[in-house]
Amino acid sequence: MDLGLDEQQEMLKNFARDFLEKECPEQLVREMEEDEKGYSPELWKKMAQQGWMGLIIPDKYDGTGMNVCELVVLLEEFGRALVPGPFISTVVLGGVPIMEAGTEEQKQQFLPKIASGELIMTMALTEPSAKWTADGVQLEAKKDGSDYVLNGTKLFVQDAHVSDYMVVAARTGGSGEDGITLFLVDSKSPGIKFEVLKTIAADKQCEVTFDNVKVPASNMLDAEGKGWPIIEKTKDVATVAACAYLVGLSQMDFDVTLNYAKERVQFGRPIGSFQAIQHKLADAVIDVDGSRFITYKAAWSLQEGEPDAGMMISMAKAWTSDASRRVVAHGQQIHGGIGFTKEYKIQLYFRRQKWMELMWGDADYHRELVAQKLEV
């Protein structure tokens, strides 16, 4: 039993940290909040050159052939640097369904381009009902000759407006988990409209409307009506990815806050010398460390195909969602007035925490899953 990183993971982490410190400074993060696309094509290209987009794509498709644990190590660094843009959308939401269920032809068509950074993707799952469960999928797909015609609205779709392709969850029949079909949809198809929502984290979630959008049947992933298990597998990876990002984000928020508590002097002493502040910091480090190890466990369980992987993933997201919020709340409080300003960095972590807390199920949602798995 060894809970540390292996040599390869350690190298990946250190390299990513240095790289992102240089290539994704605070200035860029702030610029991307206002930017229409929400990511920097220059940074995107540089990340692709490191092999990061292909991190979990097999060698065969020009990927790096690593696994979920390495992805978690990398994404913790992304969270630490608040990397903006469609990385998780492309690599996880686009890549995983194709790897899971794509035909050889589809894999050849899409995976190398994801790995090279040429393709940006996302998954369009949630709708205005804002549910992560199968009954939330109501967007219609009707067979029409050799095509399917899609009608409906998707909401809270990450980075849809800059995507080249979307994996769209549509209902071809049935109800609940039966009858959901996944389609690889060209984002430039006639009938698709995007509108970027304004969110607390200034990330780019979109409304995507489908008005008689034609999709060739050959763009179906796996078989008609069999989409839900693919979505579940994608959700697993995406949930772990969100946890990893939160770990990095909350660790950095904590580091900045710890430093501030040591340096800020009031009443003739650093405020970190006051017991009230020390207790908050102690609470925060428990939250951060706990988040990291439960995320590692979830990633490892998923990677190894452990029977309780689903439980671990939900535990990780339930804990990390709440824990990260507590950490960033302490970060704001300990900073006092300066924490409330736009200029000072700590609010960047506070606002972004909410985004990943909600993505792929919030704490309530995952606690319910944990309870179900406990057979309560």
Residues with Cβ within 8 Å of residue 55, at least 6 apart in sequence: 63, 64, 66, 70, 71, 74, 91
Q: How far apart are CB 134 and other proteins at their closest, in Å?
A: 11
User: Which is closer to other proteins, CB of 249 or CB of 302?
Assistant: 249
Q: How far apart are CB 125 and other proteins at their closest, in Å?
A: 11
CB 99 within 8 A of CB 59: no
- Strands 121-124 vs 140-144: parallel, antiparallel or unpaired: unpaired
Q: Does 193 bind other proteins (CB under 8 A)?
A: no
Q: Does 135 bind other proteins (CB under 8 A)?
A: yes
The residue within the footprint of other proteins, chosen from 32, 88, 99, 358 (CB under 8 A), is 358
Q: Does 155 bind other proteins (CB under 8 A)?
A: yes
Question: Among residue numbers 18 through 57, which ones bind other proteins (CB under 8 A)?
Answer: none
Q: How many chain residues interact with other proteins (CB under 8 A)?
A: 46
The residue within the footprint of other proteins, chosen from 50, 67, 151, 332 (CB under 8 A), is 332
Residues with Cβ within 8 Å of residue 114, at least 6 apart in sequence: 53, 54, 57, 90, 91, 94, 95, 98, 121
Nearest Cα neighbor of 150 from 117, 116, 190 is: 190
CB 129 within 8 A of CB 153: no
Q: What Rg value do the Cα atoms of the chain yield, rounded? A: 21
User: Which is closer to other proteins, CB of 19 or CB of 344?
Assistant: 344
Give the span between the Cα atoms of 363 and 318, in whole angstroms.
4
Q: How far apart are CB 275 and other proteins at their closest, in Å?
A: 8
Q: Which two tokens stand for residue 333?
A: 């409080």
Give burial (CB, 10 Å; 0-12/13-18/19+) of 195: exposed
Question: Among residue numbers 239 through 278, which ones bind other proteins (CB under 8 A)?
Answer: 265-268, 271, 274-277
Q: Does 88 bind other proteins (CB under 8 A)?
A: no
Q: Which two tokens stand for residue 335?
A: 């900073």
CB 54 within 8 A of CB 114: yes
User: Which is closer to other proteins, CB of 156 or CB of 228?
Assistant: 156
User: Which is closer to other proteins, CB of 201 or CB of 288?
Assistant: 201
Q: How far apart are CB 12 and other proteins at their closest, in Å?
A: 31
Give the span between the Cα atoms of 209 and 183, in whole angstroms.
15
User: Which is closer to other proteins, CB of 135 or CB of 308?
Assistant: 135
The residues that touch other proteins, with contacts defined as CB under 8 A, are 126, 128-131, 135-136, 155-156, 195, 197-201, 207, 265-268, 271, 274-277, 325, 329, 332-333, 335-337, 339-343, 347, 350-351, 354-355, 358, 362-364
